[in-house]
Amino acid sequence: MNDNFLYYTNQTFHHNNHQYSDFHPFLDDLYHDQQQFLYIDFNNSITNISLEDLKEYLETNMGPKYKSLSESIILTIIYSLIFISGIVGNVCTGLIVARRQDMRTTTNFYLCSLAVSDVITLAVGLPQEMYQIWIAYPYFFGTPYCLLTIYLLDMTSSASVFTITAFTVERFFAIKYPFFTRLSGQKCKRVTFIVCLIWLVAAGFSIPFPLHSGYDNYYRILLLVSFTCLFVIPIIIITIFYTLIAMAIRESAQTRNFHRCDGSAGHHANHQAVNTSQSHKAVVKMLIAVVVAFFICWAPFHAQRIMTSSTFDNWSSVAHSIHNGLFYISGVLYYFACTVNPILYNLMSRKYRQAFKETLCRNSCCCRKRSRINVTRYTATYPRSNNFVLCNAHRNASQLNNHFVRNGTHNGTREINSSACIHVHKGQIKQQHNNSCNRRV
């Protein structure tokens, strides 16, 4: 077979930077017993080649049109699980931040922006990916949708990287300079401005990709710029700032140990400092896990992208096999990155895990009944404001006899051990027979 052959991207024939007729009719007839096809040589003259030659070239460079049944079923199951878990998890993340006042933190605003990016990626990219599992080509959805998909996926991937980088820097200033962060004021407006700026920059950064097709030098430069700006530079910045965060936490721990040894700090101050440090450590662990998982999922994507931009004619059969395998691995990890964040939140944050369960069970009759039982047991059936006053009054009256114990990992919950807790039920004051009263402070 002649090495000087055409190649195919975005439904168009290309050869030596020249574009030719739409590829759909050509490819539609490819496997319908048509024995002669058009071939474009270096002189742009039209000659005839056999079906076997063209089929061999296409399967070498684009893979087989149909996968085996077992491969198609396995990939379909994996993508279906990713789609369902990703949509449910990320939508719940947005609902948690929207409905719960205590979850509207600076970090969660950034993570909510990340959830929006993940939902768009799953909704736009995964359906056509699942279709192409069963029929690799021709591209069924048309050129406009193809260009829109390219743009949206590049925009959301850029927004994800910029968001992770931004809240890494945000965490550093919150831990290193907490007093300055509190005095800066209008944190919500500042975070909203940064998130909007991130999406605007991502939208502008992604414009060149759908406007250009073909693996020429210009497109290779685009991929290298994307690799540098969306992978190399962010991971360097994130590594530097997490190193600084670790150093800041270590210095803070050494300072607390010094004051604890010389007795210069009171018991309450020491307890508050320990809680603050452990809270910072929990947040940092979660963010590090999110960042590590993100870059592990995206490294194969960038490797496959750069590999694809090279010249196909110089590839050996081994290189083609590696590329085909990397294509499917990077695809699975690319979309898995969109569902891994809510999983990490559930594993590493007790507060988020509880909020996630409440969000999922919000409209369930069973959960509503369970909620009423818990309310009767712990806070009785009266307004939260009255509960706050009565519990505080009881706590203040027996302050010397109360003992505060941490309840698991630090999530703002304390267990008040006392002889009784005053509750109001049906207009009467009743004595609770439990020996503890849990409330969130």
**Percent of the chain predicted with pLDDT > 90:** 8
In this prediction, residue 259 carries a pLDDT of 52
pLDDT in tens, 126-177: 888 888 888 777 777 778 888 888 899 999 999 998 998 888 888 888 777 7
In this prediction, residue 249 carries a pLDDT of 76
- Label each residue of the chain as H, E or C: CCCCCCEEECCEEEECCEEEEEHHHHHHCCCCCCCEEEEECCCCCEEEEEHHHHHHHHHHHHCCCCCCHHHHHHHHHHHHHHHHHHHHHHHHHHHHHHHCHHHCCHHHHHHHHHHHHHHHHHHHHHHHHHHHHHCCCCCCCCHHHHHHHHHHHHHHHHHHHHHHHHHHHHHHHHHHCHHHHHHHCCHHHHHHHHHHHHHHHHHHHCCHHHHCCCCCHHHHHHHHHHHHHHHHHHHHHHHHHHHHHHHHHHHHHHHHHHHHHHCCCCHHHHHHHHHHHHHHHHHHHHHHHHHHHHHHHHHHHHHHHHHHCCCHHHCCHHHHHHHHHHHHHHHHHHHHHHHHHHHHHHHHCHHHHHHHHHHHCCCCHHHHHHHHHHHHHHHCCCCHHHHHHHHHHHHHHCCCCCEEEECCCCCCEEEEECCCCEEEECCEEEECCCCEEEEEC
**Percent of the chain predicted with pLDDT > 70:** 53
pLDDT in tens, 74-92: 888 999 999 998 898 888 8
pLDDT band at 27 (very low <50, low <70, confident <90, very high): very low
pLDDT in tens, 391-428: 343 444 344 344 333 333 343 333 333 333 334 344 44
In this prediction, residue 81 carries a pLDDT of 93
In this prediction, residue 373 carries a pLDDT of 37
For residue 241, pLDDT over 80 is answered with: yes
Domains along the chain with CATH numbers: 7-62 (no CATH), 69-360 (1.20.1070.10), 380-440 (no CATH)
For residue 278, pLDDT over 60 is answered with: yes
In this prediction, residue 43 carries a pLDDT of 40
In this prediction, residue 190 carries a pLDDT of 81
* Range scoring the smallest mean pLDDT among 98-107, 150-159, 245-254, 271-280: 271-280
Region 301-307: mean pLDDT is 84
Higher pLDDT, 197 or 263: 197
pLDDT in tens, 308-360: 777 666 677 777 777 778 888 888 898 998 888 777 766 666 777 777 777 76
In this prediction, residue 110 carries a pLDDT of 85
